[in-house]
Amino acid sequence: MQIGSEKASSLDLLSVVVASLSDGYGLDSSTGNAFVENRLLIVVLSIVIVVLVGCVAIFFVWRSSGRKPVEPPKPLVVKTQMDTKEDQGKKKVTVFFGTQTRTAEGFAKALAEEAKARYPNAIFKVMDIDEYATEDDEYEENLKKESLALFFLATYGDGEPTDNAARFYKWFTEGKERGTWLENLQFGVFSLGNQQYEHFNKVWHDEIVAVVVDELLHEQGAKHIVQVGLGDDDQGIEDDFSAWRELLWPELDKLLQDENETGASTPYIAAIPEYRVVFVKLE
Ligand SMILES: Cc1cc2nc3c(=O)[nH]c(=O)nc-3n(C[C@H](O)[C@H](O)[C@H](O)COP(=O)(O)O)c2cc1C
């Protein structure tokens, strides 16, 4: 085997290595020679292996490119401002609730049911405050469209909002620099809490979520229709709710009753004339 001035192929080199190895290890030189003589066979086998490996690789690339990646499910968008045709032109009231053990939700629904009967020409929508917006920006976008809203908000764990009000509360309390952007909104807030949870020697009502929201709504331009109601679970929160509701109805009457409507709040006094019964003796 000659390795001349021309560049030696890798097979030439291999042949030299095999021949010298076979010598070194005392193998029969005919083994090395056989290997060298079957160069053609080795070349053919190498080509076959390369082609096979190539085919397998192409097959896998083709299979993986044919499969579409699995798309994550799109989030369910909750439409909050959906008007049917018959709703158009009616006054709308949104009743929000932030609750942990559903008392606030119960009050919100009870109020809305009673209000629907009192004001048939208005629309009352009870809304879990978490479902009001899927993104924080939507809170702003949707609240701007509200003209009348009532909030029932409970307080938990040292003056914290409920789980379903946490996202709204964070967004609302962190956005004080918004200015007076809620000028079209009239509102009322009822708080659900318990005086037993007074912490850090603060006055109880300074810590509760609903009072914070009430003050911020006012600061940001919204107008009270009724003062904040302080429901105290320690004393009888149902009575507090009833008392607040009695303050609310006259204000809602002004806003939601049609001019020619007598209204459910107006007590009905039957005008029964007095008669004097005279017994006439027939002759
Ligand atoms: C574990 C726990 C923590 C509470 N933390 C407070 C609190 O820090 N401040 C407060 O005023 N009321 C607190 N409360 C009272 C609730 O706000 C009150 O019971 C309210 O009516 C619950 O309303 P909900 O049923 O709508 O969640 C707490 C109640 C529980 C059970």
Q: What is the pLDDT along the chain (283 residues), one digit of tens a residue?
A: 444 444 455 555 555 554 554 454 444 555 555 555 677 787 788 888 888 888 788 877 776 655 444 454 444 444 444 556 667 778 999 999 999 999 999 999 999 999 999 999 999 999 999 999 999 999 999 999 999 999 999 999 888 999 999 999 999 999 868 899 999 999 999 999 998 886 544 566 677 999 999 999 999 999 999 999 999 999 999 999 999 999 999 999 999 987 666 555 544 333 333 444 445 555 4
Read off the pTM: 0.68
CA of 230 to the centre of ligand 1 (A): 13
pLDDT of residue 78: 43
Tokens representing 69? 């990646």
Cα 189 from Cα 223, distance rounded (Å): 11
The beta-carbon contacts of 106-115 under 8 Å, at least 24 apart in sequence, are: 107/152, 107/190, 107/192, 107/231, 107/241, 108/150, 108/152, 111/150, 111/152, 111/245, 111/248, 114/245, 115/252, 115/256
Nearest CA to ligand 1 atom 7: 156
Which of 156, 206, 233 to mutate to test ligand 1, by most ligand atoms within 8 A of the CB atom? 156
* Cα three-residue angle 55-59-61, rounded to 5 degrees: 120
Distance 175 CA to ligand 1 centre (A): 25
How many CB atoms neighbour CB 200 within 10 A? Answer: 7
Beta strands 148-156; 160-161: pairing state: antiparallel
Within 10 angstroms of residue 242's Cβ, the number of other Cβ atoms is 10
Ligand 1 center to 234 CA (angstroms): 10
- Distance from residue 45's CA to the centre of ligand 1 (Å): 81
**What is the ipTM, given to two decimal places?**
0.99
| Residue of 109, 129, 155, 195 to mutate, ligand 1, most atoms within 8 A of C-beta | 155
From 164, 197, 201, give the residue whose CB has the most ligand 1 atoms within 8 Å, as the site to mutate. 197
User: Ligand 1 atom 4: the closest Cα is on which residue?
Assistant: 156
Which tokens belong to 251?
């204000």
CA 239 to mean position of chain CA atoms: 33
Tokens of 216: 């911020």
Ligand 1 contacts (CB < 6 A) are 99-104, 154-159, 162, 192-194, 197, 208, 233, 237
- CB count, 10 Å around CB of 15? 20
Both structure tokens of 254: 């002004």
Residue minimizing CA distance to atom 30 of ligand 1: 156
Exposure string of 68-104, with b = 16+ CB inside 10 Å and e = fewer, is eeeeeeeeeeeebeeeeeeeeeebbbbbbbbbbeebb
